Structure 1
C-alpha cells in the first residue's frame, strides 16, 4: 500500500522542508497556488532524493481542494495532510489574509474529513500570533459560523479587525485567522475522531522562510532578539515537528496546539508578570 502525504503550501520553505522528511517513506503531493514555484519545489525535492507530485491548487477554492485530494487518492491511501498554506500580514489586505488563512483551512479540513482514511491525520499550521491576541479581541463566539455560513463567518472576522485603522488591519486579520485555525483544530477533534482521524495544530514562531522574513521589520521579527532562544527558527526544525504530528508515533495526539516559537510567548508572559509586580 502506498501511503500518501499531502502538503499544502508545498512550494514554501516550510512545505519543502517537510516534504524532505515525510518523503522518506511516503509518496508526497505538493500543492501550491503558483505553478512556477511548484516546479522549483519539485526540482529541489528531486535533488534531495524525494519524488513528489505537484498540484496547482488554491485552497480558497473548495472545488480545487476536492480535486487535489482526488489526485492524491489516485496515488495511494492518503494518510496525512499537512496544511502549511497561508499568508502573512505583509502579503495582502485583511480580506485576503482572512480568506486564505481561515477559509482555506475550512476547505482543506472539511474536504479531508470526507476523504481521509481511518488512522490518518491532519496538521494545521497556526501561529504564535494566535497566542498573543487578548481573548476579548478574538471573536471566538462567531467561529462556529465557519461550519454554517462562510460569508457570514468572513464578515464577522473582518468586523473584528475594525478595532484598528485600516492600514493595521492585515496584522489583526492574521492573528484572528490563526486563532481560528487553533480553535478549529481543537473544537472539531470529536468530529474527526468519529471518522478515525486525528487533528492537530502547530503554532510556529518567526521561521526563516521567504514568508517569515517578510515580517523581519515588523513585530514578529523584532521579537526574535528577545526570545528565550534568540534566533529565527529553521524550516527544518518545523518540518520535523510537523512530520511527527502527522505520523503514526503521534497516535495519541489530537485536538491540541503545539507552540514552537523559541520561547517568545513564555518570555512575553514572564516579563509581563515581573513588570506588574
Structure 2
C-alpha cells in the first residue's frame, strides 16, 4: 500500500519545499485555504513526477481537519503529517494568530491521534519566537485547557495578549505564545501518542527565505535576528525542509517529545 503524508500549509514556503523531498517516496496530500495556490503547487509537483492532491482545509475547524484525514486515508497508508500551516504577526491580529496557530494545532494533534497507528509521526512547526518568551510570561496553566476546553484556551490567551499596550505588541506576544504552546503541546502529547507506537515532535525554525520570512524582513525582524545569529544569513527553504522531511520518516524513528531549534544560532547568540 502506498505511503501517504499530509502537509498542511503545503501550497508554498516550507510546506512545498518539504513536499518536494517527501514526494520522492510518498503520495502527498497538501492542504491550504487557497484553492488556486493548491492547484499551482500540485501542478509543480506533478511536473517533477510527484503524486499529490490538494484539499482546501481550515485547520481551525475540527470537521474540516477530520475530512482531510479521511481523504488522506483513502489514498493509502497514512504514515506522517507535517503541520507547517500558521500565520505571523504581520499577517493577522492577535485573535486570529491564536486561532490558527493554537487552535489549529490542537485540532491537528487530536484528530491525528484518533487516526494514528504504529509508526505514525506528526511533526509540528513551532518557531524560535517560542524560545524567546521570558519564563514568567509562559502561561502553562492556561495551556492545560487544550485538553478540556479549547474555546476557553483561546479566550484566556487572548486576555493575556490584551494586557499589551498596542496592537503591535499584542500581535507579537500572541505569536510568541502560540509557538511556545506548539512546543509544549507536542511534548505533552508524546506519551499519549507513544501508547499507539506513534511519534510527535516540533521543530522551531528561525527566519527563512519564504513568503513569511520576507514579511519579517519588511518589518525589520531579520536585522534584529542577525545581530545575535551565529550564521549571519537567513535560512534556505530546502534546509528546513530537509529537517522536516527527515523527522517525518522512519530514519528518525526514536525521536519524539522534543523541540528542535533550527534558527542559525539566533537563540544561542542571545544567551551568550
The CA deviation string for residues 179-206 of structure 1, in whole angstroms up to 9 with x for no partner, is 1000001111100101111001000000
1:120-168 residue CA offsets vs partner (Å, 9 max, x unmatched): 1000000000100101111111101011011110011112212312312
1:145 and 2:145 are equivalent in the alignment: yes
Offset at residue 212 of structure 1 (A): 1.7
Deviation at 1:22, TM superposition (A): 0.4
After TM superposition, the structure 1 = structure 2 runs for residues 168-183 of structure 1, keeping only pairs within 5 Å, are 168-183=169-184
Q: In 1, are the aligned partners of 2:82 and 2:122 still within 8 Å (CA)?
A: yes
CA distance 1:161–1:219, shift in 2 (3 Å): farther
- Alpha-carbon offset, residue 88 of structure 1: 0.4
Q: Which residue of 2 aligns with 1:250?
A: 252
CA distance in 1, matches of 2:80, 2:248: 6
Match of 1:84 in 2: 84
| Match in the other structure for 2:30 | 30
Q: How much does 1:48 deviate?
A: 2.3
Partner of 2:241: 239
Report the equivalent of 2:266.
264
What is the CA RMSD across the aligned residues, in angstroms? 1.0
Counterpart of 2:126 in structure 1 is 126
Which residue number corresponds to residue 189 of structure 1? 190
- 1:223 maps onto 2:224 in alignment: yes
* Mapped partners of 1:75, 1:129: distance in 2: 36
Structure 2 runs not aligned, ≥5 long: none
SS for the counterpart of 1:217 is: helix
* Dislocated runs of 4+, deviation >6 Å: none
Paired residue for 1:62?
A: 62
Contact persistence 2:117–2:198 (CA under 8 A): yes
Encode CA deviations 1:49-91: one digit per residue, 9 max, x unaligned.
2121110001001000000000000000110000000000010
Work out whether residues 226 and 266 of structure 2, in 8 Å CA contact, stay in contact via their aligned partners in 1.
no
- Unaligned runs of 5+ residues in structure 1 are 271-277
Q: With structure 2 as the length reference, what TM-score do the two structures score?
A: 0.97
How many positions carry a matched residue from both structures? 270
